[in-house]
Amino acid sequence: MSPFWITIAILALAALGYLLGRSRSVRLAGGDTRALHSRPTYHGWHVALFTALPALVLLALARLLQAPGWLAPAALALGVAGLAVALSRTAPQFRARNVVEQVVRGILIVCSLIAIATTVAIVLSLVFESLRFFRMYPWQDFFFGTEWTPSFGGGSELGMLPLLWGTLYISLIALLVAVPVGLYAAIYMSEYATPRVRSVVKPAIEVLAGIPTIVYGLFALVTVGPLLRDWIAQPLGLGSSGSSVMTAGLVMGMMLIPFVSSLSDDIINAVPQSLRDGSLAMGSTHSETIRQVVLPAALPGIVGAVLLAASRAIGETMIVVLGAGAMARISPNPFEAMTTITVKIVGQLTGDNDFASPETLVAFALGLTLFVMTLGLNVLALYIVRKYREQYE
Amino acid sequence: MTDVTSQPPRPVDPPAAPARRSLLIEDPRTRRRNAAERRFRAYGVVAIALAMGALVFLLFTIFRDGTSAFFQTYARIPIAIEAQVVDPAGNRDPAEMQKVLTMGYGKLLDNSLAAYVEANGIEIEGLDDRDLSSFFSAQARADLRNAVLANPELVGTVIEAPVMTSSRIDGMFKGRVSRESAAIDAKTSVAQYDLAMAMQERGDLQTRFNWDFVTSTDSSDNRPEAAGLGVAILGSFYMMLIVLVLSLPIGVAASIYLEEFAPKNRLTDLIEVNISNLAAVPSIVFGILGLAVFINFAGLPRSAPIVGGLVLTLMTLPTIIISTRAALKAVPPSIRDAALGVGASRMQTMFHHVLPLAMPGILTGTIIGLAQALGETAPLLLIGMVAFVTTYPSAPPEGFLDPASALPVQVFNWTQRADPAFFERASGAIIVLLVFLLAMNLLAITLRRKFERRW
Amino acid sequence: ARDQIQVAGSSTVLPYATIVAEAFAENMDFTAPVVEGGGTGAGLKQFCAGLGENTIDVANASRPIKEAELAECRANGVNNIMEVQFGYDGIVFASSINGPDFALTPQDVYKALAAEVVVDGKLVANPAATWADVNPALPAQEITAYVPGTKHGTREVFEEKVMAAGCETSGALEAMTVLSDADKAEEACVKLRTDGRSVDIDGDYTETLARIDSNPNGLGVFGLSFYENNTDKLKVATIDGVAPSVETVASGEYPVSRPLFFYVKKDHFGEIPGLKEFAEFFVADAIAGPGGPLSEYGLVPDPELARVQQAVAAETVVAAN
Amino acid sequence: MDDVRMVERVVDTDARDIKFQCKDVQVFYGEKHAIKDVSVDLLDKTVTAFIGPSGCGKSTFLRCLNRMNDTIGIARVQGRMLLDGEDIYDRRVDPVQLRARVGMVFQKPNPFPKSIYDNVAYGPRIHGLARNRAELDEIVEKALRGAALWNEVKDRLGETGTGLSGGQQQRLCIARAVATAPEVLLMDEPCSALDPIATAQVEELIDELRATFSVVIVTHSMQQAARVSQKTAFFHLGNLVEYGDTDDIFTRPRDPRTESYISGRIG
Amino acid sequence: MDDVRMVERVVDTDARDIKFQCKDVQVFYGEKHAIKDVSVDLLDKTVTAFIGPSGCGKSTFLRCLNRMNDTIGIARVQGRMLLDGEDIYDRRVDPVQLRARVGMVFQKPNPFPKSIYDNVAYGPRIHGLARNRAELDEIVEKALRGAALWNEVKDRLGETGTGLSGGQQQRLCIARAVATAPEVLLMDEPCSALDPIATAQVEELIDELRATFSVVIVTHSMQQAARVSQKTAFFHLGNLVEYGDTDDIFTRPRDPRTESYISGRIG
Ligand SMILES: Nc1ncnc2c1ncn2[C@@H]1O[C@H](COP(=O)(O)OP(=O)(O)OP(=O)(O)O)[C@@H](O)[C@H]1O
Ligand SMILES: Nc1ncnc2c1ncn2[C@@H]1O[C@H](COP(=O)(O)OP(=O)(O)OP(=O)(O)O)[C@@H](O)[C@H]1O
Ligand SMILES: [Mg+2]
Ligand SMILES: [Mg+2]
Ligand SMILES: O=P([O-])([O-])[O-]
């Protein structure tokens, strides 16, 4: 039997366990469910969980360790055993709800640990190669170098500052577009627009998040870049580069609008109406109400949305490649081509370089650095939210 | 304190009666504030207009460039299956016939086309063998070979079936190739252009809707006209299935735990920051992770939707968790009190009351997270999903382990290919991707509307 | 067990590999191979990760495998590697079809794109603004060059065969060696200017093409096959008076070209059905020879293909050293 | 049930001006007819009490007077309501300006999730009633004193208003409304969560306000209505059954329904 | 201020059992000491009224009795509270089970944003009090009748509970709590938004409940306390100043603070 069918079998067994547990509890209570400590459904769940969980865990372990085939039937046997044990424990005074809730709680904990596990795995998968990199390349030059000129023959300059500068610059511009537009769109949708308009506009804007980034990239390259160059950069004497930080930032900002608008819209919508009423009744205008009462109350969610957008901006590649060019440099002029850390991570990792060379391994060091930096950013955001949060009711 | 021992409050001085004002006349301050109000509102309208404008413009370009991918030009000419070409041994032995490679079948088409030109009295200056041999798609040879091998009776007969033309010929009917551009194009010629026009005039070339684009598999750089999205659609579908089934429950469960059950301490703060930070991890790093954990450690196959799905799940989780937590936070505490007060457990309070009220936010996170996952390419680069796959994956669950491609990858791939016809296909693929996205979101959006309410 | 061949590696080789894979699946009774791009380095990394079903069978490369990579392969137990050179790739300079003609020499390109040039015995930032500044015979057009980024193998060839060559013939190498040591001078020869006149392209040739579309002054570096597919949009420049074509590259007249390879794990023969057949099919005359689908697409066939075929048939592996 | 129209019985206005003139007001919540054909004149410098059984439409009618019903999607208001002779439902009327003149205290206390100080200072700030911080402090203190909350919160003005006890929140909302200095103050059961002493202080405040403004108060306590109001309106099932001088209503009700409601008096 | 300890003064329990035994209960909101050293025994089958000025800690103490304070992050409870002799703050005690036995009506009505029916049926459903739909219907109807709401809502049971008037919401919350059939019912100002007739009906309900259960009621109306309760506890500034038979408290208060609070009685 393939693991798939064993899983199905275990789940079927669990379903059976649910029915058995339920009916058994009702029977034991003499048909009067009020005599039970827990509702019959909880007794059902109790049996189902005890049937399925241990068996599935065993099965997963067997699969992960590529253990011999007999483990799979053993999992099935364990399922039957779990069913029997759980069924025998069923009694009117048995605290099935508490047990089930403990198990569910355990599942919840495991789920939230997945995030931690992911982090650990990411750090692990970056750290070793980064160490390899730092053995080949001095860390001072990496962290404080202002030249990024990798080359095949070795002797590359791999300073990350130009990439960092580009990352921050582009993300900043993108957020300067996405946050005001997204926030105002969210405010308009949740506070002013009729439900009809909102029900059309909101999903429509969300489509922006689903358009593949390559489309944005081409849009930046073909439309926005030349437009900015011909109408702004050249007349102002700011350069004649078709791709620029501004191009990438603007287009990326466009893509990020729904991240801010949709999430904020939900949160703003969740602010209780009584707060708005309270403010309106004082003779404040709708916008005063929004700015001074609704938005502060919705702050944590909005900050979350903005962080998500910022995260996305930092992690984006395609738009930067096509929109901003691949030039690693530090310049205050937003109409010049620059590039970001993420782009270089992708580039160095998928290129033709010798994979054991510092030119490739630098990707891991960049990844790790970015990870630590965004961690700092998030700590800061958490602190800000804690400080300014206004908890309603 | 309203304390008997404290002295009675000082009476409030009656505020001076303000001058009577008319409601119909705005006083200056109100006028200012209302102007601010109107500005504020206008910003909202402008913001929405900007967003919608961007959307409309992007959609317009996508459809402008991509619609033609759904059409393909076919020729209908008699094709003689010459025995000496397809069966040089002359014994109709399929094993022997198989030795003739697809390349060999080109000759049948070339000869038939030459015969057609002659039979119809088409006279075109400078029409040479190269023009004839590059008139039809390389795919046409493969199709012909398959037909003959499946049915050896055909040898020696003349059949009339639609024959796929090459991308340049096809391009002539989609405005991609003009007579002028043909003159300088190494892959076509003016003579070929004229021939195509002559054939079309006779009704022997037809451009019609091309289901193959949606259903058939990718093809090599030599035959852009035959490339299809079948494998990519299936691959994306499988991956999204995995992402949805895993990321939504796991994300919601993690959020519930962190927001409602976890003790508020350093550890949970750490987890919280961690999760937001995961959202900022560049997607390619998830590819590195997937390669290390799922392929190298867990031994799952490369290019498999299951690995892609798992990687995208990890990538989507932070988005769902962040939005879900925000939504849970936004549910007023009084609702929780009310439920706890009648003896509901925290779990019941959560699942019966708080979660339904947080549902719109959760679904929004899901919509955005899945949209992002659906369009993601970079992490797939490292786990082998950016692959040229020409066999359909089988049905789940085995299909999860079969090699497959994905829609964004196909787009990425096609935009990198040399033949301009692939650019049209890439835009067409984006249309399919968007349709896919809309179909996926439709359920979530309807659900979200059902759950939306104010309290 | 896996029944399809897995191939990954160079994006330059990718189109050829897909053409072969497609034909292979059509004509042979094996499951269609799965072909990935990802770049030579990335492909070889997977290739060298070890033996077995979870590793790829074939790595495409637009350069020979390096010593360090070979060592890593060996460290991971990948010992019997077959190296197959199946053809050449020409590298061309091309500009917008509507612009003027360019007849370049490596020296012109070097003078136009080098970061620093020697003027009056001193190293100064490259002052050239138009092509005519470099060579009066060239059009007086702003210098804007789109050069593959450092992740691309093409860049290495460009640096070696154009920049370094131009540096040497123009006498700049000598002049710089005087100023510093020889190693430094060689390095300086291939450094491209960073003032925006030379633009690194991290994406693909399609991106270079799009950039030339949006900036008609641009001159881009392309693969020969890419150019051949887009002759209606691009005008190719001659190098030393030779126009690039399959013939001129094959004959060696056109100077800027490089060999293309794929690497096969011999240890996977017998494990993965059809692997050897695939390798043989790849270099068969009907495929990689003149007039075959690969040359039709733009590959410059290896003049010594017969020898390669023999080596594949004999399963010759890279010698251990 | 045949409506008892009030128009013809409107009591003599005692030379006091009519502040609010309501004619044939109807309110619907979707299908539900919540206010049926109510006509009433509310006087200036007078406290008017709205009484009636729970669910009869008192809050609904009150919310019409400063157009707070605009915020309820399904609510529809018909009829004319004139404030100083101007129709507040006129298209040209700015509800913002209206609400600045007609303040409101809601039935359920709804403090902002801000500090106590900011809760009270909110109105004066948006209306620019204070020139500087000192003046604002003064307004806040005065309002909090008026609402009998100052002593309890003077040391914790920076704490959030939602952390107060039920009665404190209610007084905070009163202070918040008073601080804006409206011409008409609508109070929906302002003393429901207050102890007798606090109630007395709020009633005192209402009495003071009457010197300059009109106050409309919804209350379930007949005694309170009798104590603080000069006019009383009795609502029943969406109808205004009887309206007149408070004394008259409580001593000589004309309508049997009024009589039975008042005589059933308990609390 | 020196506390007036109640322990030694606890009145004779009249052979009625002690339901809740509270010893030295302290509650802190962060730094704020909201309940100071309160000891009191609440009797079974008895209505106990908590009275005292606004903000004195009545709600806080009430919320301790079914551990609703657990939900306020900054609240800390010290001391012992025994329900039928078992410490409810014991680690082994499941607060859920406790709250099923000790029901609560909150000071601010907080109906679920669900239908009226579902609001009331929620408790019976999760506790499995009904075997089938008919029984559930019956429970819902009985609870709504008890809370004097049935007539007003019987035709609109499917409408959402948040669309009710303030008083209706309050009664809905009472009905919701009663439907769960708790042993002890804690009611925080249950009649604050009710008209006299509805108040009388709720009081009647309380009286009925007393036959089987204990009821603790917070009220600002001295009359109501006198009418419905057998025992009264007077809180002041976080202290339990006096606890005893209601008659005694209102006629012969022993503490000067009680006396002055009661004599300041107004309405
Ligand atoms: N969540 C909270 N955070 C901080 N302080 C609080 C909180 N809840 C109540 N308090 C404070 O604790 C004290 C007691 O409050 P409690 O709600 O128990 O008063 P109460 O007697 O119920 O008053 P009321 O009759 O006004 O409802 C008050 O001073 C109040 O400000
Ligand atoms: N938002 C609403 N949606 C639908 N019906 C409503 C809404 N608000 C009130 N109602 C209904 O309108 C009627 C009048 O409600 P209103 O709130 O005016 O009563 P009230 O006189 O203030 O009662 P209470 O003294 O209980 O506060 C009630 O039957 C109520 O159920
Ligand atoms: Mg009301
Ligand atoms: Mg209270
Ligand atoms: O991917 P590359 O061909 O540039 O090696």
- pLDDT score recorded for residue E264: 67
- pLDDT score recorded for residue C53: 83
- For chain B, give the longest Cα–Cα distance: 122
Instruction: Domain count for chain D, please give it.
Output: 1
The average pLDDT across B63-67 equals 89
At B400-446, the pLDDT tens digits run 888 899 998 898 888 888 888 898 899 999 999 999 888 888 888 88
Q: Does B418 contact C at CB distance below 8 Å?
A: yes
Predicted confidence (pLDDT) at residue E132 exceeds the cutoff of 50: yes
The average pLDDT across D44-69 equals 91
Predicted confidence (pLDDT) at residue A147 exceeds the cutoff of 50: yes
Is there a domain that residue D119 lies in?
A: no
Angle at which helix E133-146 crosses helix E116-127, to 10 degrees, equals: 120
- pLDDT score recorded for residue B3: 42
Is there a domain that residue E144 lies in?
A: no
Predicted confidence (pLDDT) at residue A75 exceeds the cutoff of 90: no
- E168 C-alpha to ligand 2 centroid (Å): 8
Predicted confidence (pLDDT) at residue D186 exceeds the cutoff of 80: yes
At C133-154, the pLDDT tens digits run 988 999 999 899 999 887 788 8
- pLDDT score recorded for residue A1: 57
- Which residues, by Cβ under 5 Å, contact ligand 4, an ion? D 165-166; E 59, 107
- pLDDT score recorded for residue B122: 85
Q: How far is A88 from chain B (nearest CA, A)?
A: 25
Residue E32's H or E segment, with its range, is strand E32-43
- C204 C-alpha to ligand 5 centroid (Å): 10
Predicted confidence (pLDDT) at residue A393 exceeds the cutoff of 70: no
Instruction: List, in order, residues 6 or more apart from A126 with CB less than 8 Å away.
Output: A364, A367, A368, A371, B285, B288
Predicted confidence (pLDDT) at residue D4 exceeds the cutoff of 50: no
The residue assigned the tokens 């403090």 is: D111
Is there a domain that residue E143 lies in?
A: no
* Cα angle value C186/C189/C195 (rounded, 5°): 145
B393 touches B234 (CB < 8 A)? yes
- E165 C-alpha to ligand 3 centroid (Å): 5
Record: contact D86-B14, CB cut-off 8 A: no
CA distance B352 to A96: 18
CA distance B143 to B148: 9
Instruction: List, in order, residues 6 or more apart from E243 with CB less than 8 Å away.
Output: E6, E9, E10, E11, E40, E231, E232, E233, E234
- pLDDT score recorded for residue D119: 93
The more confidently predicted of residues A46 and A327 is A46
At A153-195, the pLDDT tens digits run 667 788 899 999 999 999 999 999 999 999 999 999 999 998 8
Which range has the worst mean pLDDT, A35-44, B197-206, C276-285?
Answer: A35-44
The average pLDDT across A122-139 equals 90
The average pLDDT across B86-107 equals 83
Does C have 3 or more CB contacts under 8 Å with B?
yes
- pLDDT score recorded for residue B101: 86
* Cα angle value A307/A313/A319 (rounded, 5°): 165
CB atoms within 10 A of CB A37: 18
D50 CA: nearest ligand 2 atom: 21
Residue C59 — very low, low, confident or very high, per pLDDT cuts 50/70/90? very high
Alpha carbons within 13 angstroms on the beta-carbon side of residue B430 total: 31
At B382-401, the pLDDT tens digits run 888 888 888 898 888 788 88
Burial of A332 (0-12, 13-18, 19+ CB in 10 A): exposed
Is there a domain that residue D194 lies in?
A: yes
At B125-165, the pLDDT tens digits run 888 888 888 899 888 988 888 888 888 888 888 888 889 99
Predicted confidence (pLDDT) at residue C221 exceeds the cutoff of 70: yes
The average pLDDT across B204-209 equals 90
Residue C31, both tokens: 């499951």
Residue B273, both tokens: 């920051």
CA distance D13 to D42: 9
Q: Does C204 contact B at CB distance below 8 Å?
A: yes
Ligand 5 residue neighbourhood (C-beta within 6 Å): A 352; C 10-12, 39-40, 62, 152-154
Q: Does C243 contact B at CB distance below 8 Å?
A: no
CA distance B288 to A126: 8
Residue A86, both tokens: 């759980």
- pLDDT score recorded for residue D115: 92
CA distance D226 to D219: 10
Predicted confidence (pLDDT) at residue B307 exceeds the cutoff of 90: yes
The more confidently predicted of residues B63 and C175 is B63
Q: What is the mean pLDDT of chain A?
A: 87
Ligand 1 residue neighbourhood (C-beta within 6 Å): D 163-168, 193; E 29, 32, 34, 54-60, 72, 107
* Cα angle value A384/A386/A389 (rounded, 5°): 95
CA distance A163 to D72: 52
Q: How far is E214 from chain D (nearest CA, A)?
A: 23
| Length of chain D measured in residues | 267
CA distance B64 to B354: 45
Q: How far is residue C130 from each of residues A372, B200, C141, C148, D229, measured CA to CA in Å? A: 45, 48, 5, 21, 92
Of the candidates D71, D69, D80, the one whose C-alpha atom is nearest the C-alpha of residue D34 is D69
For residue E235, give the ligand nearest its CA: 1
Q: What is the mean pLDDT of chain B?
A: 86
CA distance A129 to A365: 8
- D111 C-alpha to ligand 4 centroid (Å): 15
Predicted confidence (pLDDT) at residue B191 exceeds the cutoff of 60: yes
CA distance A38 to E53: 41
- pLDDT score recorded for residue E162: 87
C61 CA: nearest ligand 5 atom: 5
- pLDDT score recorded for residue C318: 83
The average pLDDT across B251-266 equals 89
Record: contact B4-E101, CB cut-off 8 A: no
- pLDDT score recorded for residue C213: 85
CA distance B107 to B112: 8
Q: Give the domain ranges of chain B.
A: 73-206, 230-451
- pLDDT score recorded for residue A12: 92
Name the class of domain B230-451: mainly alpha
* Dihedral sign, Cα of residue E171, residue E173, residue E174, residue E180: positive
Of the candidates C299, B275, D46, the one whose C-alpha atom is nearest the C-alpha of residue A119 is B275
The more confidently predicted of residues A250 and E2 is A250
Nearest residue (by CA) to ligand 1, atom 22, is E59
Q: Does E62 contact D at CB distance below 8 Å?
A: no
Predicted confidence (pLDDT) at residue A320 exceeds the cutoff of 50: yes
Q: Does C50 contact A at CB distance below 8 Å?
A: no
Residue B13 — very low, low, confident or very high, per pLDDT cuts 50/70/90? very low
Instruction: List, in order, residues 6 or more apart from B198 with CB less than 8 Å away.
Output: B120, B122, B124
Q: DSSP of B56-99, one letter per residue?
A: HHHHHHHHHHHGGGGEEEEEEEEEE--HHHH-TT-S--HHHHTT
Q: Give the domain ranges of chain A.
A: 3-114, 148-388
Predicted confidence (pLDDT) at residue A28 exceeds the cutoff of 60: yes
- pLDDT score recorded for residue B9: 44
3-state secondary structure of B295: helix
Q: Which CATH number belongs to the domain containing residue D62 in this structure? A: 3.40.50.300
At B14-33, the pLDDT tens digits run 444 445 567 777 788 888 88
Of the candidates C14, C86, C89, the one whose C-alpha atom is nearest the C-alpha of residue C302 is C86
CA distance C261 to C249: 17
CA distance E136 to E128: 10
Name the class of domain A148-388: mainly alpha
CA distance B55 to B371: 15
Is there a domain that residue D243 lies in?
A: yes
- pLDDT score recorded for residue D9: 38
Task: List the single residue in A280, A288, A392 with the smallest CB-CB distance to D162.
Answer: A392
* B297 DSSP 8-state letter: I
pTM of the model: 0.89
Q: Three-class SS string for chain C?
A: CCCCCEEEECCCCHHHHHHHHHHHHHHCCCCCCEEEEECHHHHHHHHCCCCCCCCCCEEEECCCCCHHHHHHHHHCCCCCEEEEEEEEEEEEEEEECCCCCCEECHHHHHHHHECEEEECCEEEECCCCEHHHHCCCCCCCECCEEEECCCCHHHHHHHHHHHHHHHHHCCHHHHHHHHCCHHHHHHHHCCECCCCCEEEECCCHHHHHHHHHHCCCCEEEEEHHHHHHCCCCEEECEECCECCCHHHHHHCCCCCEEEEEEEEEHHHECCECCHHHHHHHHHCHHHHCCCCHHHHHCCEECCCHHHHHHHHHCCCCCCCC
Q: Does C277 contact A at CB distance below 8 Å?
A: no
Residue D196 belongs to domain spanning: 17-108+184-262
Does D have 3 or more CB contacts under 8 Å with B?
yes
Q: Does A287 contact D at CB distance below 8 Å?
A: no
Instruction: List, in order, residues 6 or more apart from B60 with CB less than 8 Å away.
Output: none
Record: contact A353-C38, CB cut-off 8 A: no
Predicted confidence (pLDDT) at residue D218 exceeds the cutoff of 50: yes
CA-nearest residue of chain B to D203? B11
Residues of E in contact with D200 (CB under 8 A): 264, 266
Record: contact B343-E71, CB cut-off 8 A: no
Q: Does C280 contact A at CB distance below 8 Å?
A: no
B328 touches B260 (CB < 8 A)? yes
Record: contact A321-C159, CB cut-off 8 A: no
- pLDDT score recorded for residue A164: 93
